[in-house]
Structure 1
Amino acid sequence: MDIQQGLSLLAVAILIALTAFFVASEFAIVKIRSTQLEPHLATGKKSAIYAKKVTSNLDEYLSACQLGITITALGIGRLAEPTFEQMLHPFFEDVVPASAVTSLSIAVSFLFATFLHVVIGELAPKTIAIQRAEQVTLLFARPLVWFYRMLFPLIWSLNGSARLLIKMLGFKPMSEHEVTHTEEELRLIISDSYKGGEINQSEFKYVSKIFDFDDRIAKEIMVPRTEISAISIEDSLEDNLAIMREEKFTRYPVVNGDKDHILGIVNVREVLSDIVAPDVTEEIKLENYIRPVISVIESIPVNDLLVEMQKKQTHMAILYDEYGGTAGLITAEDIIEEIVGEIRDEFDVEEDPLISKIDEDHYLLDGKTLISEVNKLLHVEISEEDVDTIGGWLLTEKYDIAVGETLTFGPYVFAVKAFDGRQIKQIEVLKNDEENRFKKDEEERFDPPYEASGS
């Protein structure tokens, strides 16, 4: 190897190293999040200042990286192939026919140069940059800024030409690099983070419920009118206290006549505090403890209702339907449970879950289960146009449906198991091909065993 070949090899090595620098810089500055730089900026780290400058002007510095990659790639193509060909030519002269020496040495030199360029110059730096985006950005940001400043006129003119071409093609140029994500993209990112062990199951569930929370309306999570525990302004204090002792809630709506006429809410603690206070001598009247309650349409988004409740500093809201009648009520706890799950205190009665899985494709559903949840569970498309719950849907499909009767939808059979008054309480769901199991169960339940009689 002569000096000329040695210098050429050194130049090739430098160009491949520069390619690796620009490739690693490009992937690192795209991958890193601005929040990762905040701790370094707080300590006044100079490399973080340069990194912040780069990540805040991604379009310009990505253009610098692409220009650097292009220049180094052209340099490698110009130097590597002829240098390797000159080194391999004498070797092939001794092992192949003279007519094939030049062609073979050129082909092998091209493949070897391509291998070095792709593997060492691009693939390896890319992988390292993705896995160590923070460290690579902090390390390479300063030299990348220097490179950008040195070639600023060229980079500016190339960017301007690209924007002009984009406009001519009918596209809108972007002044800033796109860093926003759609809700679906964020869900996928969160899911990948959970699978990768970056967040735990509780964090994953909380974030997922936040997305669902924004799509909920108050009607879907309210306590329906039929289940509202209320006290009446017309009843005596003793009768109302009896209701409070039995139900054990903290707040009660106060009605005047019926549940369509709600005067406000009463906090039990205020009433009991005055009952046990030794210095209270005047008669305790329920109307003195009634506080205003907000009333909103049942179709209000839960998120908007929470904001309204925070503004009015109230823990309860009354929901009315399109006709002005009371549809139900909702508490702050109901809203919070949509994010964090069920919250129970020492007075809460243990309730069966809305959805219980018995076996594969075999479920027990509470009649109040939302149709949207059933659709998600069974991968069907039951209409939500007229009713919200699965029990309500069964009644709209067959108004006189009775316990033990079934209704088929898609691949599933829905069987009514129990009623609570006029409300369907429990529903059993099985795949269509197992409908005979329903019939067998009902025959055993309602038909007496046959006894043969002889004469």
Structure 2
Amino acid sequence: MLTIKLLIIVLLIGANAFFVASEFSLVRVRTSRIDQLIAEGNKKAASAKKVISSLDSYLSTTQLGITVISLVLGWLGEPTLRVIFNPLLIKLHVPGTLIHVVTFILSFLIITFFSVVVGELAPKNIAIQTAENIVLLVAKPLIFINKIMYPFTWTLNKSSRLVTKALGYDMQSDNEITHSEEELRIILSESLKSGEINQSEYKYVNNIFEFDNRIAKEIMVPRTEVVTVDKSDRIADLIRLAQSEKYTRYPVTDGDKDNVIGVLNMKEVLTDCVSNPDLRDDATIEPYINPIIHVIETVPIQGVLARMQKDNTHMAVLLDEYGGTAGIITVEDILEEIVGEIRDEFDTDEIPLIQKIGDAHYILDAKVLIEDVNDLLAIEIPDDDVDTIGGWLLTQKYDLKKGDSVPFQSYDFKVKDMEGSHVLYVEVSKKQEAASS
């Protein structure tokens, strides 16, 4: 009889481990992973999907199982172990008045130890580490147990909802777990550390988050750097321009850059020139002018991209608040925000926006955003009025000249190159006193 009771205790602790592992694995497993397994033809995954699709019901089943088993263990454990300890305590000459107390304490400690360690903590840790495998293993038994316990779990769930509603909470069951952007960033960082994703994948996804927060003027080619052609230009003039600039598309103006009327694709022009060489002599570029879209410079990047996709165009003109041309933006500019700088065979002499010369010593393109400079140097240049480091320098000194230096916090910002009043490159280095300290 004693052996049977001990066997029942072992089975109860094992059943408790089953319910604990089931509970933690159900909470931990990713629904998307189960969907993937179903698509791959995993037969166990279908049962797992059924369980996690009714999470509220099955969690109630596991919790009810754990509670009932704990009560039974408490009821059965102490009398069973008393039969074992009583003779030992008598042999040790423990006073009769203390035998019951000592037996109770020993029985309680032993049952609690095995119940907590073997029946809860160990299965919990295993379930957290291998949630997917555990769910696939316990899904079918849980479905069977849930059917048997359904009247009890249904009653308990209804009662709990009444209580939570009375406390002012409208609880919705079986909601899919969602994550905020910051939580997703943390998950990505952990996945990178564990090797689940590589550095490039991590960078791309993080860039997508940043992409959603940027506006068009932050990545545009500014008006001063836009190379345009006039609608009255001849094809021969266009070809000479293309030989030096090597762009595929050119904005077409009618008078000046504030009146961009379209965009010209060199592929169309060169294709016709190959089949009809006489076009180079007197023909104008007007037949090759395609429509171009105009958007305000403060439009979010994703809005510009959606408009480009809708209108089947690769270039857009950005307008400032007065209706003048602020610059242009291309599909390539937008893609570079996600995948990084894209260089073609004509970009061999292109200079990176940020050149590292030495420790805390950089040469920056004046178009680099202030927020990127702040991240690079761990400083806090205000960007309320202007977006770029070149624009910020102009706000610090109205008569800025090449060679002028503007100090900020522990850095010196020196104008390395200018074109008229337009800053081209900025040299950044630590102040002498900051570098020596």
Q: Same fold (TM over 0.5)?
A: yes
Shift of residue 159, structure 1, vs aligned partner: 1.2
Out of 66, 78, 81, the position equivalent to 1:84 is: 81
Shift of residue 187, structure 1, vs aligned partner: 0.7
Tell me which residue corresponds to 1:175. 173
Cα gap change, 1:120/1:390 in structure 2, threshold over 3 Å: closer, same or farther?
A: same
Alpha-carbon distance in 2 for matches of 1:232, 1:43: 58
Shift of residue 252, structure 1, vs aligned partner: 0.5
Cα gap change, 1:275/1:346 in structure 2, threshold over 3 Å: closer, same or farther?
A: same
Which structure 2 residues correspond to residues 373-388 of structure 1 after superposition, within 5 A?
A: 373-388=372-387
Shift of residue 110, structure 1, vs aligned partner: 2.0
Tell me which residue corresponds to 2:117. 119
Q: Is the 8 A contact 2:216 2:299 kept in 1?
A: yes
Which structure 2 residues correspond to residues 3-42 of structure 1 after superposition, within 5 A?
A: 3=1, 5-42=2-39
Q: Is the 8 A contact 1:15 1:72 kept in 2?
A: yes
Task: Quote the RMSD (CA, aligned, Å).
Answer: 2.4
Identity %: 51
Alpha-carbon distance in 2 for matches of 1:252, 1:129: 60
Q: Is the 8 A contact 2:21 2:123 kept in 1?
A: yes
Q: Is the 8 A contact 1:24 1:125 kept in 2?
A: yes
Cα gap change, 1:157/1:280 in structure 2, threshold over 3 Å: closer, same or farther?
A: farther
Which structure 2 residues correspond to residues 53-452 of structure 1 after superposition, within 5 A?
A: 53-95=50-92, 97-98=94-95, 100-278=98-276, 284-431=283-430, 434=433
Shift of residue 228, structure 1, vs aligned partner: 0.5
Deviations 1:170-218 (CA, angstroms, capped at 9, x unpaired): 2221233341110111111111011000111111111111111111111
Alpha-carbon distance in 2 for matches of 1:384, 1:231: 34
Amino acid at match of 2:67: T
Alpha-carbon distance in 2 for matches of 1:297, 1:249: 24
Q: Is the 8 A contact 2:233 2:284 kept in 1?
A: no
Alpha-carbon distance in 2 for matches of 1:93, 1:358: 85
Pick which of 313-322 and 64-73 moved more. Answer: 64-73
Cα gap change, 1:199/1:285 in structure 2, threshold over 3 Å: closer, same or farther?
A: same
Cα gap change, 1:112/1:429 in structure 2, threshold over 3 Å: closer, same or farther?
A: farther
Cα gap change, 1:80/1:411 in structure 2, threshold over 3 Å: closer, same or farther?
A: farther
- TM-score between both structures, scaled by the size of structure 1: 0.88
- Secondary structure at the counterpart of residue 380 of structure 1: coil
Amino acid at match of 1:400: D
Q: Is the 8 A contact 1:316 1:329 kept in 2?
A: yes
Alpha-carbon distance in 2 for matches of 1:39, 1:234: 59
Cα gap change, 1:394/1:94 in structure 2, threshold over 3 Å: closer, same or farther?
A: farther
Shift of residue 340, structure 1, vs aligned partner: 1.1
Amino acid at match of 1:69: I
Cα gap change, 1:160/1:199 in structure 2, threshold over 3 Å: closer, same or farther?
A: same
Pick which of 42-51 and 154-163 moved more. Answer: 42-51
Q: Is the 8 A contact 1:274 1:280 kept in 2?
A: no
Shift of residue 39, structure 1, vs aligned partner: 4.9
- Secondary structure at the counterpart of residue 37 of structure 1: helix
Deviations 1:117-161 (CA, angstroms, capped at 9, x unpaired): 121111221222222222211211111112211121221121112
Cα gap change, 1:436/1:174 in structure 2, threshold over 3 Å: closer, same or farther?
A: closer
- Secondary structure at the counterpart of residue 313 of structure 2: coil
- Secondary structure at the counterpart of residue 391 of structure 1: helix
Cα gap change, 1:380/1:79 in structure 2, threshold over 3 Å: closer, same or farther?
A: farther
Pick which of 215-224 and 412-421 moved more. Answer: 412-421
Shift of residue 264, structure 1, vs aligned partner: 0.4
Amino acid at match of 1:144: L
Shift of residue 77, structure 1, vs aligned partner: 2.1
Deviations 1:293-325 (CA, angstroms, capped at 9, x unpaired): 011111111111111111111111111111100
Pick which of 398-407 and 293-302 moved more. Answer: 398-407
- Secondary structure at the counterpart of residue 156 of structure 2: helix
Unaligned runs of 5+ in 2: none
Shift of residue 81, structure 1, vs aligned partner: 3.4
Q: Is the 8 A contact 2:356 2:363 kept in 1?
A: yes
Shift of residue 393, structure 1, vs aligned partner: 1.2
Q: Is the 8 A contact 1:27 1:130 kept in 2?
A: yes
Alpha-carbon distance in 2 for matches of 1:357, 1:77: 69
Shift of residue 236, structure 1, vs aligned partner: 3.2
Shift of residue 334, structure 1, vs aligned partner: 1.0
Alpha-carbon distance in 2 for matches of 1:376, 1:115: 52
Alpha-carbon distance in 2 for matches of 1:73, 1:104: 22
Q: Is the 8 A contact 2:188 2:202 kept in 1?
A: yes
Cα gap change, 1:372/1:96 in structure 2, threshold over 3 Å: closer, same or farther?
A: farther
Alpha-carbon distance in 1 for matches of 2:236, 2:277: 20
Shift of residue 278, structure 1, vs aligned partner: 4.4
Pick which of 24-33 and 407-416 moved more. Answer: 407-416
Shift of residue 397, structure 1, vs aligned partner: 2.3
- Secondary structure at the counterpart of residue 329 of structure 1: strand
Shift of residue 280, structure 1, vs aligned partner: 7.2
Shift of residue 279, structure 1, vs aligned partner: 8.7
